[in-house]
Chain A
Amino acid sequence: MKKTKAESLDVVTLTVINNALVNICREMGTAMMRTSYSPIFNEALDFSCVIFTPEGEMIGQAEFCPTMIGSAQYAVKWTIEELGLESFEPGDVVIHNDPYRGQCHMPEHMVLKPVFFGKKLRFFVANIAHVGEIGGMAPGSFAADATEVYQEGLRLPPIKIMRRGDYVKDVWKIILSNHRTPKSSWGDLHAMIGSLSIAEDRLVKLIERYGADVLAEAGSRLLDYSERWMRAEIREIPNGVYRASDCMEDDGIRNEPVWMRLNLIVADDEIIADWTESDPQARGPINATFVVTAAATYSAVLHATNRDIPRNSGCFRPVRIVTRPGTVVNVQHPGPSVGGNTETHPHIQNMVVAALSQAIPGRTAAAEGATACNFLFGGLHPETRQYYTNYHFEGCGWGGTASHDGNSVMCPVNGNCRNTPVEVFETKYPFLTLEYSMRKDSGGAGKYRGGLGSARRLRVMAPEITVSALLDRTRTHAWGLFGGSEGASARLLVKKKGESDFTSFDKAFGTTSPTKFTRIILREGDEVIIESPGGGGYLPPAERTAEEIANDIRQGYISKEAARKQYGYKG
């Protein structure tokens, strides 16, 4: 019997289709970058673009934000299940940011559009992006001392904002009247929706070229191929139960640590990440949603396995997550979770890597800084007289690996975002940047040194700016591996105008936590220092060559004193 076109799909065509799907997602990202209003979109690229089958399987994604790619698995499937496949019509767009229904945290908004060919729904295209301001108790919607989700902004279950290509104006009015900077939200949401239209157009062209059945078969085969490859990779990891634990140093409400505990079970071709021994959910917003824990676990496994495995739902099938609702790794309503996505996520990811390092040491890394050093601010701009807000974050040092020094001043592993250039920052916001540099001696010593954190000093140039912050790893450190040293902690300091010394925010303003607080008013001339943490070192410092140490000194990465003390350098 003659095979159909779909049945006779060859490897070359399969590869071409896979690359086409990935490229559509990349093009979506470029469209968002070029058409959005906010720096968090067009500079930081804090978004992800994905393509799904009607059954809710991810078959295409590009190299954007790992946390969102992991969460898209759940958010899209959830949306389809809650609304029902039959409810989608051509031209519909659904919006969704509910952290209890498959989202990472409230600022992360997903927009999703069905792609029809003829009368049949063939794909879903979606993107998830961090909308910079969504209301709530603090400008920038990052309330470090929130105790419930209602203080974190406007929560949207999966609902349509476009129906058959028309605005659902009632929904838009509710959204825009609850955001502090509705003009930015309007522009950014349209950038997101516009990128969906581009993807829709490209997918229709792809169907016209190959046929819908061939594409459906290709999607199915790509999913199975990724699953097989991932299972083969996991089979290479010795069976066993590997443990790791780490803490968030405080939750912004109570000044005590909150612990996460992992039993990582490797059983033949499957990994089960059992998080059930973790602490109950915190009162403050450092709780991770279920999908954050899942995304962090996936991200760690992807870091330790072959980088060429196609990143689709198939490669996540052999990785299972076990949590208890109501814990710091699976927040229950109405627990807050905004910091769980930026702070707790990299801790969780680091813990999985630490557990895997017991089994496959050569494929893992020492801990990274694991804080985005979230610094939020807003107010009335003295020049434009317009209300503005900004979500600012820093890069940190990554851990050394079995073959390389850790990267310096990189967004934590969960984000993969870019920094915002000083020129853009100063043009848009009334801060003067007095210093932006790499922090000497912040990387943990080791044969492979931990990456360096950054130091930034800002001066307030407006009559007042309301600031909030959410940083971790200010009292704990990124750990080293196999004899490597830990990295330097983060610091957040303030100096009021006329004072000579910098001090912590708890001393200056009486906040409960020195680094997790909201709505502190800084005045013109006040200054802030944000120092991000360094990564841990890998293998003993004594194994680093004298040439490499000399180069570190020349480049300003380490001081002569540290070279002598930590490395025993004699030069």
Chain B
Amino acid sequence: MGTKAKSHTKSRGQWEENREPWYDQTAVYCDACGMLIPNKRLVVKSGGGNSSKFCGPACVQLDQKVQQFKKLRAAS
């Protein structure tokens, strides 16, 4: 979304468009910020066949930073 920090690195992952029919009300949330994603989402595959959905590259970076802080916090 417009308020996300500018991405300075090329992000991995693939853009996927919402393919649900227009009348479908299913919601998809960003795995980093938690916001409902309007249409296109960046899908990043991780180990074990899992994948995460993000608003965009800035949210991929956000997720990495938050995970890093959580690890540091758990370690301390």
The chain A residues found within 8 Å of chain B, CB to CB, are 55-58, 73-74, 76-78, 81-82, 100-102, 227, 241, 263, 265, 267, 270, 272, 274, 276, 290, 294, 313, 316-325, 330, 332-333
Contact = CB atoms under 8 A, between A and B. Distances in A.
Contacts of B51: none
Nearest to B61: A320
A317 B6 contact: yes
A323 B33 contact: yes
Given A241-B69, A324-B34, A76 B5 contact: no
B34 A57 contact: no
Given A58-B2, A77-B2, A265-B66, 17 more contacts: A55-B2, A74-B1, A74-B2, A76-B2, A78-B1, A81-B38, A100-B27, A313-B3, A316-B3, A317-B3, A317-B5, A319-B3, A321-B33, A323-B34, A330-B34, A330-B35, A333-B27
A350 B43 CA distance: 35
Nearest to A227: B6
Interface of B: 1-6, 25, 27, 29, 32-36, 38-40, 58, 62, 65-66, 69, 73
Contacts of B58: 320
B11 to A, nearest CB: 15
B53 to A, nearest CB: 12
B27 A332 contact: yes
A313 B36 contact: no
A116 B32 CA distance: 35
Contacts, number: 85
Given A241-B73, A272-B66, A274-B66, A294 B2 contact: no
8 contacts: A73-B1, A77-B1, A267-B69, A272-B65, A276-B34, A313-B2, A322-B66, A332-B27
A101 B19 CA distance: 18
A81 B6 contact: no
Nearest to B63: A322
A322 B6 contact: no
A81 B65 CA distance: 27
B62 A78 contact: no
A438 B65 CA distance: 47
Given A322-B62, A325-B29, A333-B27, A101 B36 contact: yes
Contact of B65 (A267, A316, A318): A267
Contacts of A227: 6
Given A316-B3, A317-B4, A290 B36 contact: yes
Contacts of B39: 81-82
B34 A318 contact: no
Contacts of B2: 55-58, 73-74, 76-77, 313
Nearest to B62: A320
B1 A320 contact: no
Contact of A322 (B27, B33, B36, B38): B33
A173 B74 CA distance: 56
Contacts of A265: 65-66, 69
A320 B33 CA distance: 8
A101 B5 contact: no
Contact of A294 (B3, B5, B36, B40): B3
A335 to B, nearest CB: 12
Of A267, A316, A324, A325, the most chain B CB neighbours within 10 A belong to A325
Contacts of B38: 77-78, 81-82, 101-102
The 10 nearest A-B residue pairs measured at CB: A323-B34, A81-B38, A56-B2, A77-B2, A73-B3, A316-B3, A325-B29, A290-B35, A317-B5, A77-B1
Contacts of B34: 276, 290, 321-325, 330
Nearest to A79: B38
Of A100, A101, A318, A320, the most chain B CB neighbours within 10 A belong to A320
A276 B3 CA distance: 20
A345 B10 CA distance: 35
B59 to A, nearest CB: 9
Contact of B40 (A81, A270, A318, A323): A81
A270 B5 contact: yes
A274 B1 CA distance: 18
B6 to A, nearest CB: 6
Nearest to B66: A322
A322 B66 CA distance: 8
Contacts of B32: 322
A324 B32 CA distance: 9
Given A76-B2, A320-B5, A272 B62 contact: yes
A325 B69 contact: no
Contacts of A318: 5
Contacts of B66: 265, 272, 274, 322
A55 B35 CA distance: 19
A20 B9 CA distance: 34
A100 B25 CA distance: 11
